[in-house]
Amino acid sequence: MNEREKFMFDLQGFLKVEGFLSPLELKGLNEAFDANWDKAIPDPNSHADGDMAGELERDFFEGMLTWEQPWCQPFRELLAHPKLVPYLNTMFGRGWKMDHSPFLLASSAGTEGLRLHGSTSRLFDGTQHYSYTNGQMRCGMIVCQFQLADVNQGDGGLCVIPGSHKANFTCPDDIKNYKSNRELVYNIPCKAGDMVIFNEATIHGTLPWKASHQRRSLLYRYSPNYLHFHGGVYQTSLPAWVQELTPAQQAVLEPPYIYRRPLIEEDGVTVIRPTRENPDGTIRP
């Protein structure tokens, strides 16, 4: 993560990484969805109101990591993608984990949006926060949204209020519903293959989809190694299918804990975190 990217993320609470996916990766992901379109369900998180309402509900996919081969493979390869590791190491420090199962949101023209939501700094929330101390940024949960189709300005889809990850006051409801102060809300334009990574504390949502082509946004969420945002019960052992993954991919799916945790190096190799590691990676005597 270069200095310009650090500045942009610190300032805005989100960062667009152009061309993150290769043309081959993009093709594989889209083909996997085309082959499994019968698995789409209405988005269970739908709660559009105000000017976020629409005529259609979003299509929602999950469980892609356990789809039959070869369709699961493109999603598994994103878990610890070599280009993603430096971003996560910068935002979390060494040691992080997947939070939520990956899912895809698809929309046709006329599909509803999603009310703006996110945290503010008014009250500390360890799962949704941004801080900068001693030369290091740290986040609660972050979201990586991979765009599998073009998103032009005004098409709809992902939108944010830039800089709101540092806000000290609660966002008014009429702004959340997109009824007022629309100039604050930025609909992030992207090309297919771009990734937008944003802090869960950044106020974000989805604008109704207006484009004639289909929206396809794939979301992976990551949290610090010691917490889990989504809830649910963690087992102490991972399911059998995880053994099909690389050591780095397996490490991403570990439950929340710190000591003796496998860490992913930027070359994809995993190492075990010592029990006496300092924050800078050196070992305490």
In a domain, 116, yes or no: yes
Global pTM reads 0.92
Q: Do β-strands 130-133 and 270-272 pair in parallel, antiparallel, or remain unpaired?
A: unpaired
In a domain, 267, yes or no: no
Output the CA–CA distances (angstroms, integers) from residue 225 to 39, 63, 105, 134, 197, in the order listed: 31, 22, 26, 20, 18
For residues 260 and 132, what is the distance between their CA atoms, to the nearest angstrom?
26
Q: Select from 40, 83, 126 the least CA-distant residue to 220.
A: 83
In a domain, 134, yes or no: yes
pLDDT digits (tens, 9 = 90+) for 7-54: 999 999 999 999 999 999 999 999 999 999 999 998 887 766 778 888
What pLDDT is recorded for position 232? 62
In a domain, 271, yes or no: no
What pLDDT is recorded for position 106? 96
Give me the domain span that covers residue 228. 3-237
CATH number of the CATH domain containing 12: 2.60.120.620
What pLDDT is recorded for position 45? 79
Give me the number of domains the chain comprises.
1
**22 DSSP 8-state letter:** -
Q: Looking at 1-5, 176-180, 233-237, which range is the least confident one? A: 233-237
Q: Is the pLDDT of residue 285 over 50?
A: no
For residues 19 and 114, what is the distance between their CA atoms, to the nearest angstrom?
26
Q: Is the pLDDT of residue 233 over 60?
A: no
In a domain, 268, yes or no: no
- Amino acid identity of residue 45, one-letter, is N
Handedness of CA 216, 130, 231, 186 (dihedral sign): negative
In a domain, 282, yes or no: no
Interval 135-161 mean pLDDT: 96
Interval 140-156 mean pLDDT: 96
Cβ proximity of 79 and 98 under 8 Å: yes
In a domain, 272, yes or no: no
Q: Is the pLDDT of residue 281 over 60?
A: no
Cβ proximity of 73 and 127 under 8 Å: no
In a domain, 195, yes or no: yes
pLDDT digits (tens, 9 = 90+) for 66-118: 999 999 999 999 999 999 999 999 999 988 999 988 999 999 999 999 999 98
Cβ proximity of 157 and 217 under 8 Å: yes
Q: Is the pLDDT of residue 284 over 70?
A: no
Q: Is the pLDDT of residue 227 over 90?
A: no
